[in-house]
């Protein structure tokens, strides 16, 4: 079998190009081309469509060497790292696609992934979206994630929807979960049928359990306790509320205490209230401690 380094060297020479000229056309260094041809390393997978197009080939012909003129084959593993990572490559013709592949009718194509028969967990790199009828366990995802079970991953470039819990790093969209949510920052809203433990949330937060988070860019509703930073909307909790400033709404702790900074609205608590400044009324079932109030207290 012809190897990828031999294939590139042969094609370059047939085209009458120097290594410097090939490097210039591909936007890489001379040293990179030299290392490819001497089998010290392989081209980045994302460069394969450009290399194939430059020599008038499809990516399939570049990798397999199969054509009417050249029936020999390239050893495909030569272009991949032996690191145990499952890589999914999607092509339209010889163009590498990093997001969903769609036909003219707009319907999505489903790609079936083959996992080790041993049942061991596999590490997967995904340059696009993830849709699964079951659980999702993965590293970074550049697109969205939709799962029929729980989601356990690193950073997500889009939204996350899960029929179970969500455990991940940063999410660049919204999060909707039928269970609890544990994550870093969320650049959209967050809805959870369980508790929430996260960083900052750009949108609103609705949770059927406790909420522990950073700043919230909109309102916050929780059936349990709330422990957060500043909130740009109102706060409603079934139990205690501990937060920073609430800049545009009321704070209500139906069956608990309220402990906040400045509240630009009313404060209602089933137990004690401890606040710095309230630009509204205070109603509490217990003690009230404050520095300044611009409304009534009850």
- 267 and 198 housed in the same domain: no
Considering the chain, what is the average pLDDT of its residues? 82
Ranges 64-78, 129-143, 203-217: which has the least confidence: 64-78
**CB-side neighbour CA atoms (13 Å) of 185:** 7
Q: Given this model, what pLDDT does residue 56 score?
A: 84
- Reported as a single tens digit per residue, the pLDDT across 183-230 is 999 999 999 999 999 999 999 999 999 999 999 999 999 999 999 999
- 88 and 77 housed in the same domain: no
- 128 and 233 housed in the same domain: no
User: Of the residues 51, 81, 111, which one is the last residue of a structural domain?
Assistant: 81
- 192 and 91 housed in the same domain: yes
The residue that leads in pLDDT, 113 or 63, is 63
Q: Which DSSP state fits 126?
A: B
DSSP three-state, residue 244: coil
Largest Cα–Cα separation, the chain? 91
pLDDT value at 10 more than 70: yes
The residue that leads in pLDDT, 223 or 52, is 223
Q: How many domains does the chain have?
A: 3
- 158 and 225 housed in the same domain: no
Q: Given this model, what pLDDT does residue 14 score?
A: 87
User: Of the residues 215, 247, 263, which one is the last residue of a structural domain?
Assistant: 215
Task: Identify the burial level of 210 via C-beta atoms within 10 angstroms of its C-beta, where 0-12 means exposed, 13-18 middle and 19 or more buried.
Answer: buried
- 90 and 14 housed in the same domain: no
- 157 and 40 housed in the same domain: no
Asked if 249 and 266 touch (Cβ cutoff 8 Å), the reply is: no
- 13 and 97 housed in the same domain: no
DSSP three-state, residue 175: strand
Confidence at 72, pLDDT banded by 50, 70, 90? very low
Write out the two tokens for 227.
């422990």
Confidence at 137, pLDDT banded by 50, 70, 90? confident
* CA gap 253, 130 in Å, rounded: 39
DSSP-derived secondary structure for 41-73: S---GGGHHHHHHHTT--HHHHHH--SSS----
CA neighbor of 156 nearest in space, from 188, 191, 123: 188
- Reported as a single tens digit per residue, the pLDDT across 81-90 is 555 555 555 4
Q: Which domain holds residue 244?
A: 219-298
Q: Given this model, what pLDDT does residue 3 score?
A: 72
Q: Which DSSP state fits 77?
A: G
Task: Report, as an integer, the average pLDDT of 241-257.
Answer: 95
pLDDT value at 297 more than 90: no
Q: Given this model, what pLDDT does residue 49 score?
A: 83
**Of 40-49, 94-103, 274-283, which one has max mean pLDDT?**
274-283
- 147 and 61 housed in the same domain: no
* CA gap 165, 149 in Å, rounded: 8
User: Of the residues 63, 81, 99, which one is the last residue of a structural domain?
Assistant: 81
The radius of gyration of the chain's CA atoms, rounded to the nearest angstrom, is 28
Percent of the chain with pLDDT over 90: 52
Write out the two tokens for 147.
């799962």
């Amino acid at each position: 079998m012809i190897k990828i380094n031999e294939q590139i060297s042969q094609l370059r020479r047939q085209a009458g190009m120097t290594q410097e000229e090939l490097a210039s056309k591909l936007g890489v260094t001379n040293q990179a081309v030299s290392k490819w041809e001497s089998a010290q390393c392989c081209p980045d997978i994302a460069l394969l469509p450009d290399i194939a197009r430059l020599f008038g080939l499809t990516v399939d012909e570049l990798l397999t060497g199969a054509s009417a003129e050249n029936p020999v084959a390239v050893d495909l593993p030569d272009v991949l790292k032996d690191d145990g990572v499952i890589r999914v490559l999607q092509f339209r013709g010889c163009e590498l696609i990093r997001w969903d592949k769609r036909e003219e009718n707009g319907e999505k194509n489903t790609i079936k992934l083959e996992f080790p028969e041993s049942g061991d967990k596999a590490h997967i790199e995904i340059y696009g979206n993830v849709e699964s009828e079951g659980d999702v366990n993965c590293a970074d995802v550049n697109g969205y994630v939709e799962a029929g079970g729980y989601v356990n991953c690193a950073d997500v470039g889009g939204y996350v929807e899960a029929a179970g819990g969500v455990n991940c790093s940063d999410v660049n969209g919204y999060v909707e979960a039928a269970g609890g949510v544990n994550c870093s920052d969320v650049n959209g809203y967050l809805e959870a049928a369980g508790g929430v433990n996260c960083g900052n949330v750009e949108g609103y937060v609705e949770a059927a359990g406790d909420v522990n988070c950073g700043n919230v860019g909109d309102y916050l509703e929780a059936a349990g306790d709330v422990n957060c930073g500043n909130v740009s909307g109102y706060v409603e909790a079934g139990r205690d509320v501990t937060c920073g400033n609430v800049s545009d709404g009321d704070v209500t702790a139906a069956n608990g205490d309220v402990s906040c900074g400045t509240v630009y609205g009313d404060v209602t608590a089933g137990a004690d209230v401890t606040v710095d400044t309230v630009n509204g009324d205070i109603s509490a079932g217990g003690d009230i401690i404050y520095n300044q109030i611009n409304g009534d207290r009850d």
